[in-house]
Amino acid sequence: MVTGLVVATPAEAAPRATVKVSRTSVMPGERFSVVVASGTRVRRPVVLKYRAGSSWRSLRATTDARGVLRTTTSTTRARVDYRAVLPATTVRGKRHRALSTRTVTVRTVRPAADTTVRVTGGQVRVAARVTPARTGRKVSLQRRDGSTWRTVVAGRPGNAAGRVDFGVVGTQRDLTGRAFRVVAGRWKGAPQVSGAAQVVPAPPTSSPDPTPDEPLEQPTTEPTTEPTPTTPPRVTSLAVEVPGPRGPDACTQIITTKTDYVKGRLTFHDRRDGRFTTVAAGLRVRGNSTASIERKRPYKVKLDAKASLLGLPQSRDWVLLANHFDRSLLRNDVAMRAARMLAVPWAPHLESVELRINGAPCGVYQFGEGIETQDGRVELGDGDTLLEADTNDDDDPEFRTDRGLRVFLKDGDTNHPARVRQAFQEVEDLLYDESFPENGYRERIDVDSFVSLYLVNELTKNLDAGFRNSVYLVMRADGTLAMGPPWDYDVSQGLYELGYAGDSHLPSGWWIGRHFHPQFPDDGWRQALLPSQLWAEPGGHYYNRLLTDPWFVEQVRARWREAAPQLATLATHVDEESARLLESATANFTPVADGGAGQLVWAAPEEIGTWTTVLRFASDPDSGVEPGEGWLRETARLRDWIAGRTAWMDEQLAGSNG
């Protein structure tokens, strides 16, 4: 039993017939096994049903003498559902009744290969990390010689976390400016995947970076390649040119509303490979609570034409996240990384960039994918609907459930709101029925997606996890409710302290199952601070119910055990990003008079007495800490928090307390 999470109840009897898959998350083309067990040790007919769209297809076969059917297959579709029906049959005079199984789902995940180049004592070391991790998958290291990639280390097998250490590959003096990448080989039918190039930096020098941050004189909508600079910086720069003033006011006085796009051009300097890309686009303010933060607003970016930016799939729709409250600038990054480790079907990819508007430094932002229904992001089947649960009172919801949850129809099949509402209400009713959990609710939710999102939110202690804000779901055409992609983690991971949940900022202690109440305490200050948000709305209840089902908790434990080796690397990732972003983050918190963006590493004057009652910053306004040191305090606190949190959860879910 997990203390504080679930009350011990008798174990559920195993079903008579089951269908299982060797992996619930696969790469496109990767072979996996589907096994049907009838529970009767006789040879009998079986109908294996599978669905990759809106309709089921059937494969008719016969089990072996043990009552088992095993088949190997692969898919390139975003998801495939499997279930089996075993018709009634008579074998050697004995009648065997008809059986059916629950539905299991296999999802495809996008493979990736990340290259890490480190310089220690003048020696260059290279390592790789391949996701999803496959023990034994061979990874090669390549170096770019002119225009040709040449293999310098061939076929080293990855470990259980998908990591390969290629060791020392040469000296910094000899390799400055040279590019390396890793290539993961084919794996059980899945194609090879190459990582982005990483350039060996030059030793520190006092001379300025010769590559300007200003946009190109003649912007184009096609990428143009420039020679790799002698001293390549580590963080991509994004220069935005729009009509309006230049100087510091450009960051705060030009793009100011959520309704009107300001037309301009964006020039990316991807400093990993020296490439410049310029596109035409419109920008407007986005977000809820952060939209009102004048000193650093978040933006929605709408390109004039689809484009692939920073190596991500083509789209017109992008975001620039300010991460104003998160002084570490890394909480969203860590959360999305954890989500991919926990087999969330898709989590937005976000890249740190140095933003300039009309030449003025505006600070470190995250540029990347927003929540959009398109190939490579949220992929919907025919008749599926993307939903959002949210308590912000900007718009009227499409409907409220009987327990008060506000639901918005965002995309997909939005023409049948009554059907969606009925199906959603049926799921809610099942979760609260007296016969729960033995009432078939598992057939009406996508269990895997609920397990994955629960763990992401429990791991990060996400404030909005209780179905309050930015909670995305998918109602499928067959009436199955699934959790959607993760979003909005800038005040998670120890940053936010709730008065009625005293350990919300600590790395220990259960979060979702313990602290969410039907509504926030009505102490008035929240409503005064953000009057557009319905603080008295209910939250947290669906997961509270699911965590009373021992079977669901066992799925949580299993998923955690599978992902734990990768999750244990999150603290190291924070350290790596701290080193990579140090120069850019220091400039983010450097005063405007000294050439920086003028953001504050401690509480801003307008935050004192309001946000400081709940947000925990590492430095006080009167500390006198230098910008770079103050930022490193924030990243160190985040690193220690996520290390402590993963260790505590591992003890609860995989250790002696699990």
Residue 542 lies in a domain: yes
Q: Is the pLDDT of residue 24 over 60?
A: yes
Length reported for the chain: 658
Same domain, 356 and 389: no
Same domain, 401 and 331: no
User: How would DSSP label each residue in 127-186?
Assistant: EEEEES--TT-EEEEEEEETTEEEEEEEEEEP-TTSEEEEEEEEEHHHHTT-EEEEEEPP
pLDDT on residue 10: 47
Q: 444: buried, middle or exposed (CB in 10 Å: 19+, 13-18, 0-12)? A: middle
Give the closest residue to 542 by CA, choosing from 609, 608, 449, 614.
Answer: 449
Q: What whole-number distance in Å separates Cα of residue 58 and Cα of residue 552?
A: 29
Same domain, 70 and 130: no
Local structure of 36: helix, strand or coil:
strand
What single DSSP character describes residue 55? Answer: S
Domain boundary among 107, 138, 172: 107
pLDDT on residue 503: 74
pLDDT on residue 468: 74
Q: What whole-number distance in Å separates Cα of residue 645 and Cα of residue 460?
A: 8
What single DSSP character describes residue 444? Answer: T
Q: What whole-number distance in Å separates Cα of residue 123 and Cα of residue 173?
A: 9
Same domain, 186 and 155: yes
Same domain, 236 and 333: yes
Same domain, 246 and 355: yes
Band of residue 231 on the pLDDT scale cut at 50, 70, 90 = very low
Q: Is the pLDDT of residue 430 over 60?
A: yes
User: How would DSSP label each residue in 276-343?
Assistant: EEEEEEEEEE--SGGGG-TTS--EEEEEEEEE--TTPPPEEEEEEE---S-TTS-HHHHHHHHHHHTT
Bridge partners for 20 per DSSP: 35
Q: Is the pLDDT of residue 524 over 90?
A: no
Band of residue 5 on the pLDDT scale cut at 50, 70, 90 = low
Residues 192, 30 contacting (CB under 8 angstroms): no
Residues 489, 331 contacting (CB under 8 angstroms): yes
The model carries a pTM of 0.67
Q: Give 178-228 pLDDT, tens digit per residue.
A: 999 999 999 999 999 999 889 999 886 544 444 444 443 344 444 433 333
Same domain, 444 and 480: yes
User: What mean pLDDT do residues 592-621 have?
Assistant: 77
Tokens of 484: 């959607």
Question: Which is more confident, 618 or 566?
Answer: 566
What single DSSP character describes residue 436? Answer: T
- The total of structural domains in the chain comes to 4
pLDDT on residue 611: 57
Q: Give 139-192 pLDDT, tens digit per residue.
A: 999 998 887 888 888 888 888 778 888 888 888 888 998 999 999 999 999 999
pLDDT on residue 183: 94
Residue 390 lies in a domain: yes
Residue 583 lies in a domain: no
Please report the sign of the dihedral spanned by the C-alpha atoms of residue 613, residue 619, residue 622, residue 626.
Answer: negative
Same domain, 355 and 447: no
**Cα separation values, 138 from 35, 183, 566, Å:** 28, 9, 18
pLDDT on residue 449: 92
Q: Is the pLDDT of residue 64 over 80?
A: yes
Q: Is the pLDDT of residue 383 over 50?
A: yes
> Strand 104-108 to strand 25-26: parallel, antiparallel, or no bridges (unpaired)?
parallel
Phi, psi of 127, rounded to the nearest 5 degrees: -135, 165
**Cα separation values, 253 from 106, 242, 285, 362, 380, Å:** 48, 11, 12, 12, 38
Q: What whole-number distance in Å separates Cα of residue 657 and Cα of residue 653?
A: 7
Same domain, 269 and 128: no
Q: Which of 31-40, 80-89, 305-314, 457-466 has the lowest mean pLDDT?
A: 457-466
Residue 486 lies in a domain: yes
User: What mean pLDDT do residues 239-264 have?
Assistant: 94
Q: Identify the helix (H) or strand (E) that includes residue 544.
A: helix 541-546
Q: Which of 11-25, 111-125, 254-268, 478-492 has the lowest mean pLDDT?
A: 11-25
Q: Is the pLDDT of residue 80 over 90?
A: yes
Domain boundary among 334, 368, 402: 368
Q: Which of 175-189, 240-254, 595-609 has the lowest mean pLDDT?
A: 595-609
pLDDT on residue 501: 56
Tokens of 18: 């089951």
Q: Which of 210-219, 269-278, 549-558, 572-581 has the lowest mean pLDDT?
A: 210-219
User: What mean pLDDT do residues 475-480 have?
Assistant: 91
**Cα separation values, 432 from 457, 544, 545, 559, 638, Å:** 22, 10, 7, 25, 37
pLDDT on residue 206: 44
Domain boundary among 107, 132, 153: 107
133-160 burial, b for 16+ CB within 10 Å, e for fewer? bbeebbbbbbbbeeeebeeebeebebee
Residue 566 lies in a domain: no
Residue 654 lies in a domain: no
Same domain, 279 and 141: no
Local structure of 258: helix, strand or coil:
coil
3-state helix, strand, coil in the chain (%, to 5): 20, 30, 45
- Give the best-scoring range by mean pLDDT among 390-404, 467-481, 552-566, 607-621: 552-566
Same domain, 269 and 253: yes
State the chain's mean pLDDT as an integer.
84
Residues 185, 138 contacting (CB under 8 angstroms): yes
Q: Is the pLDDT of residue 475 over 90?
A: yes
Same domain, 88 and 234: no
Range of the domain at 51: 18-107
Residue 334 lies in a domain: yes
Question: Of all residues in the chain, what percent carry a pLDDT higher than 90?
Answer: 55
pLDDT on residue 610: 56
- CATH code assigned at 41: 2.60.40.730
Residue type, 466: G
Tokens of 601: 């590493």
Band of residue 233 on the pLDDT scale cut at 50, 70, 90 = very low
Q: What whole-number distance in Å separates Cα of residue 639 and Cα of residue 657?
A: 24
Residue 167 lies in a domain: yes
Residues 66, 54 contacting (CB under 8 angstroms): no
Q: What whole-number distance in Å separates Cα of residue 367 and Cα of residue 313?
A: 13
**Cα separation values, 493 from 102, 505, 554, 648, Å:** 36, 7, 24, 13
How far out from the chain centre does Cα 523 lie?
A: 33
Give the closest residue to 163 by CA, choosing from 184, 149, 181, 142.
Answer: 184
> Strand 236-241 to strand 350-357: parallel, antiparallel, or no bridges (unpaired)?
parallel
Band of residue 495 on the pLDDT scale cut at 50, 70, 90 = confident
Q: Give 348-369 pLDDT, tens digit per residue.
A: 999 999 999 999 999 999 999 9
